[in-house]
Amino acid sequence: MAVTPPPGEAASPDPGWATHAGDRPRDDGRTHPGPAPIDLVRLRRLLGAPELAWLVERIRRRLEREEPLTGSVSLADPDAAGRGAVERLLGRAPRRGRSLSVRLEAVDHVLRRSGISPDGLAAAIRALTGPVVPVRAERDEKARAWAEAYAPLDALVTRRPELAEWADRMRGEGLVRRLAPEPRLAAALLADTASALDGLPVEPAMSLPAFAARALGNAHALDDGTALATLVLSALRRLSGRPPGSGAQWRRETWASAGLVRDELSSTVLALNVRGTPALDLHADAGEPVVLTLRQLTRHPSSPRTRPTTVRICENPAVVAAAADAHGTGCAPLICLQGQPSAAALALLGTLHAQGSTLLYHGDFDWGGLRIASTLLRHVAWLPWRYTATEYRTAVGRTTPLAPLTGRPVDSPWDPGLRPALVELGVRVEEESVLDDLLTDLLDDPSTRNGRAGAQ
């Protein structure tokens, strides 16, 4: 006998029944304001058998693709258990053959007629397997989530337009998605990337852990191998114009291009007859080259000059060695970058420039040399020292043999004609090839000490 609940109370639903959203017609023509009940116990027994998992999966896939639940679905090479499950589902034996076909309209009819799922097959699949999210809606939602994840990058480009090309590559090449495969993780990674890049480059130079602690609240946030370090290094490479690379030396030089060093001792600069610190003065008195660490330069900054002087800069240490041999204490002040400018080199050159020194630069006539020169120019002003298109053409005309140029062309903002000249002639001229000219210039001339000498 049915138990009538007290007035104002609804009967508790049978735990073996579920509901499906949607109004259900009543006998009087009106509608119930709720979903139709589903008999989960019978549904699981009828359609939830392991032998029918393939059928349920095919139907759910159609729902996800928003396709109609009509027509037939087939299973190749079914076993006897699979055929028996279909027979129990439809109430008749399936046709014989190498494949097993089930008409979806027939399954829908069985579910409605039996009362197991009055709203039919779609409602039954949702009750059996959970809510169905259409593929299109899921795709749109994921696209929206990824667009929001890149928002910190978009804001960064607004503040730093020079990073626009890099940001586009981050989207197109998929590096961010490889490092952080979920939008939520990518958003956090890109937010930290933007925070780091907002603070770069730094002047004066500082240690990488100290910068990470200041900018990101974690001294190890930019350690080797972290996703954050990978992204920030890729942006710094673009900013500095450095070629792609890998390895500890490449990373060290790329960090240094933004004023960051792993420690105060690993970053060095080579100098000859430059004065201003105890170590520089000691070696200048002897006319000997000296290697200074960033620690020495920051702990004992160069003292101001009584008069501005001209300081020449070269790319290769062979020039320094030859100058020390040829001129000794009579050599003009010379600083060697030994490749991309280190934090120590930038610290020393920045101090000299601030004190009024005129900086003159020479490097190899090749694409790597132009990149080094451009990087230095972004940090400190200098004038070309025999480093123009005219000097390049002259050197090519009197030097043989010369190696062909390799690598990607880059601009030469100090002399716009230099890049086209390199492209036209297609050979590289190393500093050692014009060493005699450089040594002539390096013979100390008192007129260069007060800044009256111009660039040659």
pLDDT by residue for the chain (456 residues), tens digit each?
333 333 333 333 344 555 544 444 444 444 445 567 899 999 999 999 999 999 999 999 988 888 899 989 889 988 889 888 998 999 888 777 788 999 999 999 999 999 999 999 999 999 999 998 887 877 778 888 888 999 999 999 999 999 999 999 998 888 899 999 999 999 999 999 999 999 998 877 788 888 999 999 999 999 999 999 999 999 998 887 777 888 887 888 888 888 888 766 778 899 999 988 888 889 999 999 999 988 888 777 666 554 558 999 999 999 999 999 999 999 999 999 998 888 889 889 988 998 899 999 999 999 999 999 998 998 899 999 999 999 999 999 998 889 999 989 999 999 999 999 999 999 999 999 999 999 999 997 554 444 333 344
CB-based contacts of 156, cutoff 8 Å, min separation 6: 163, 167, 193, 194, 197, 198
Q: Which DSSP state fits 365?
A: B
Helix (H) or strand (E) holding 425: helix 418-425
Report the 10 Å Cβ neighbour count for 413: 13
Q: Tokens for 128?
A: 């059996």
Q: Say what the pLDDT of residue 308 is.
A: 57
Q: Nearest 5°: phi and psi at 370?
A: -65, -35
Strands 310-314 and 290-293: what pairing?
Answer: unpaired
Q: Say what the pLDDT of residue 278 is.
A: 84
Q: Say what the pLDDT of residue 313 is.
A: 98
Cis amide linkage into residue 201, ω under 30° from 0: yes
**C-alpha 196, offset from chain centre:** 12
Grouping H, G, I as helix, E, B as strand and the rest as coil, residue 38 is strand
Domains of the chain: 34-132 (no CATH), 138-261 (no CATH), 268-450 (3.40.1360)
Global pTM exceeds 0.75: no
Q: Say what the pLDDT of residue 56 is.
A: 93
Burial class (CB in 10 A: 0-12, 13-18, 19+), 18: buried
Q: Say what the pLDDT of residue 59 is.
A: 92
Q: Which DSSP state fits 21?
A: S
Q: Using CA atoms, how far apart are residues 397 and 186, in angstroms rounded to an integer?
A: 54
Q: Which of 390, 355, 394, 362 is nearest to 376 (CA)?
A: 362
CB-based contacts of 352, cutoff 8 Å, min separation 6: 274, 276, 302, 311, 359
Q: Say what the pLDDT of residue 21 is.
A: 44
Grouping H, G, I as helix, E, B as strand and the rest as coil, residue 315 is coil
